[in-house]
A and B are shown apart, each in its own frame.
Chain A
């Protein structure tokens, strides 16, 4: 069984740029959630994707957007980067079977905005 994988591991961008982060879900999982974890804080929910559609969203502006593909992998896109977007971005996959299931996390992508 393959766990959740994320790429890249680290990324450095400058203010105003755009970034795309990628996530491959765990085998057998059809739902992907994204979280932002600032230094010293717990993860904050960005959004969740199921069947290639956004299924739920936290308090993040529209410049945070996502995609889910038919193979259940996912991308997180952030436009017009701000210094405050510097964080660890976590992807979690789970299975929707009519009720919520446990979310399993990837190792994260560390984004630094200069």
Chain B
């Protein structure tokens, strides 16, 4: 069964510091991974998708199949980055086709 693990429920950093939100996955096929973000009182929105290889709001994430990880990184955190971050894995086959499996989420707080 596919599974996504975000080991840190809470993460606090100071403005300007580097930040890394961890995500590990378990999936038998070729993984397709996403990071979603939810700012206070806003809907869940896509931050980035690994196949796009884009950098959004300064965030990047590299898929490491050997370590089954998809950690989210930003070199210099900003206060506006404070939010809930979810890592998600897409099931592209079987009876749960189209299913996104989410991790439990990490609450990032960036202090001034």
Interface residues of A (CB under 8 A from B): 4, 31, 33, 35, 40-45, 48, 50, 55-58, 90, 92, 94, 99-100, 102-108
Contact = CB atoms under 8 A, between A and B. Distances in A.
Contacts of B83: none
Contact of B95 (A31, A57, A105, A107): A57
Nearest to A45: B99
A28 B103 CA distance: 28
Contacts of B90: 100
B95 A43 contact: no
Interface of B: 4, 32, 34, 36, 43-46, 49, 86, 88, 90-92, 94-105
A43 B100 contact: yes
A90 to B, nearest CB: 7
Given A43-B102, A56-B91, A100-B90, A105 B44 contact: yes
27 contacts: A33-B98, A33-B99, A40-B104, A41-B105, A42-B88, A43-B44, A43-B86, A43-B100, A43-B102, A45-B96, A45-B98, A48-B97, A48-B98, A55-B98, A56-B98, A58-B96, A58-B99, A94-B98, A100-B98, A102-B34, A102-B46, A103-B46, A104-B45, A105-B43, A105-B44, A106-B43, A107-B43
Contacts of A41: 104-105
